[in-house]
Amino acid sequence: MSHEARSLPGKPVAEAVLADVSERVAKLKAQGVTPSLATVLVGDDDASAGYIRIKQRQAAELGFDSPHRHLSGDITQEQLLDVVAELNADTSVHGVLIQYPIPAHLDYDAALMTLDPDKDVDGMHPLNMGRLAVGLPGPLPCTPAGIEALLAHYEIPVAGREVVILGRGATLGRPLAMLLAQKRPTANAAVTVVHTGVPDWERYTKRAEILIAAAGVPGIIQPEHVRPGATVVGAGVRYEGKRLLPDVAEECAAVAGAITPRVGGVGPTTVAMLFRNAISAAERAVAAR
């Protein structure tokens, strides 16, 4: 008899998170404060401009101000840093998003380093990574936080279970490992991270109760790498033009107990977490007045 895993779409998770954000926006507005998420786009990359539009539309729907700075693709690093400094100093701006990637002659990490960590809605500033590592509150990296929220939303137990993450990249695998190992009911897992330094990584993925693909290598996870009945989260993707190629092969649904869909899995939760970080930043700014 053929088996089809339970599907774990990201949209209902995002809707639940955004409903909470929306209530928090209303509370701030009742205190006379409009939360504000500024976006910075450098150059004219179509995909990046599209992502910014999605975020601005979402911001408007939630009642955020979303001042936008569209900078020319040939600006200097100093000009970019000046814009970041301006947004840091602007007390009406609570969160800042610098859309990645930026043109190759500019240094994204150096720009991020100058951003006020409390306005870092991506949760990627090294200080926020440090806060995550030592368990201090702060903006969480959006995709890892979205994955924790997705597992919690579908009531998939994580605490005490064996989680294996394929990939140790700075945006995904590494912070996710830190997050899911934290002492918290929706985390508290036995986390193993595998990568190219572990050539027989399937030895680990095959015993995972929760397997998270975070490699960015299309089809790297095949059914034989999955423990029967496991929960499989596909976060790694590669784009070929507009085509999205997930890490997790479609056939894995016949082995897994639950699995994120190939499109609309982790992605929507990432955007929701951006706004959760932004409303938290606004609340902190109000509390500190």
What CA–CA distance (Å, rounded) separates 199 from 223? 18
Indicate whether 55 belongs to the interface with ligand NAP (CB under 6 A): no
**Shorter beta-carbon distance to ligand NAP: residue 4 or 200:** 200
What CA–CA distance (Å, rounded) separates 43 from 62? 27
Residue in 36, 94, 163, 201 binding ligand NAP, rule: CB under 6 A:
201
User: CA 97, 101, 106: angle at the middle one, nearest 5?
Assistant: 95
Indicate whether 84 belongs to the interface with ligand NAP (CB under 6 A): no
State the alpha helices, DSSP H only, in the chain: 11-30, 46-62, 77-89, 108-114, 126-134, 142-153, 173-180, 202-205, 266-287
* Min separation Cβ 125 and ligand NAP, Å: 16
Distances (CA, A) of 205 to 224, 248, 269: 10, 12, 24
Instruction: Report the residue number whose CB is nearest to ligand NAP.
Output: 169
* Min separation Cβ 276 and ligand NAP, Å: 14
Indicate whether 259 belongs to the interface with ligand NAP (CB under 6 A): no
| Ligand-binding site membership of 267 (annotated) | no
Helices and strands in the chain, H and E counts: 9, 11
Residue in 11, 184, 195, 284 binding ligand NAP, rule: CB under 6 A:
195
- Count CB-CB contacts under 10 A for residue 243: 8
What CA–CA distance (Å, rounded) separates 194 from 208? 12
| Ligand-binding site membership of 17 (annotated) | no
| Ligand-binding site membership of 168 (annotated) | yes
Place of tokens 């569209």: 70
**Shorter beta-carbon distance to ligand NAP: residue 133 or 170:** 170
Q: How far apart are the first and last CA of the chain?
A: 62
Interaction with ligand NAP in 145-174: which residues (CB under 6 A)? 166-173
Amino acid occupying residue 110:
A
Phi-psi region of 250 (alpha: psi -120 to 50; beta: other; left: phi over 0): alpha
**Shorter beta-carbon distance to ligand NAP: residue 36 or 270:** 270
Interaction with ligand NAP in 90-149: which residues (CB under 6 A)? 143
Pattern 205-234, ligand NAP, x by CB under 6 A: ---------xxxx--x--------------
Residue in 270, 272, 274, 279 binding ligand NAP, rule: CB under 6 A:
270
> Is-contact 164 158, C-beta < 8 A?
no
* Min separation Cβ 204 and ligand NAP, Å: 11
Indicate whether 69 belongs to the interface with ligand NAP (CB under 6 A): no
**Shorter beta-carbon distance to ligand NAP: residue 83 or 174:** 174
| Ligand-binding site membership of 57 (annotated) | no
Amino acid occupying residue 21:
V
The binding site for ligand NAP (CB under 6 A) comprises: 143, 166-173, 195-197, 201, 214-217, 220, 235-238, 266-267, 270
- Binding-site residue ranges for NADP(+): 167-169, 237
